[in-house]
Amino acid sequence: MGEIDAMKSLDDSLSSLEKDAQRRVLSWAWSKFVGADSGEAAPNIQGVKSSGKKVGKKKVPNKGAAPASGKKTVISMDKSLNLNPSGKTSAEDFVAAKKPSNVQEKCVVACFYLRDMMSVAQVNVSGVYTFFKHVGWPLPTDLKNALQKAGSSGWLDTADSENILITSTGENLVEHKLPKSKD
Residue 69 pLDDT exceeds 70: no
15-24 pLDDT, tens digit per residue, is: 777 777 777 7
Maximum separation of any 2 CA atoms in the chain, in Å = 58
130-154 pLDDT, tens digit per residue, is: 999 999 999 999 999 999 999 999 9
Domain contains 82: no
Domain that holds residue 142: 91-177
Question: In this prediction, what percent of the chain has a pLDDT beyond 70?
Answer: 75
Domain contains 147: yes
Domain contains 83: no
- pTM for the full predicted model: 0.62
Residue 157 belongs to domain with CATH number? 1.10.10.10
Give the number of domains in the chain.
2
Q: Give yes or no: residues 116 and 42 share one domain.
A: no
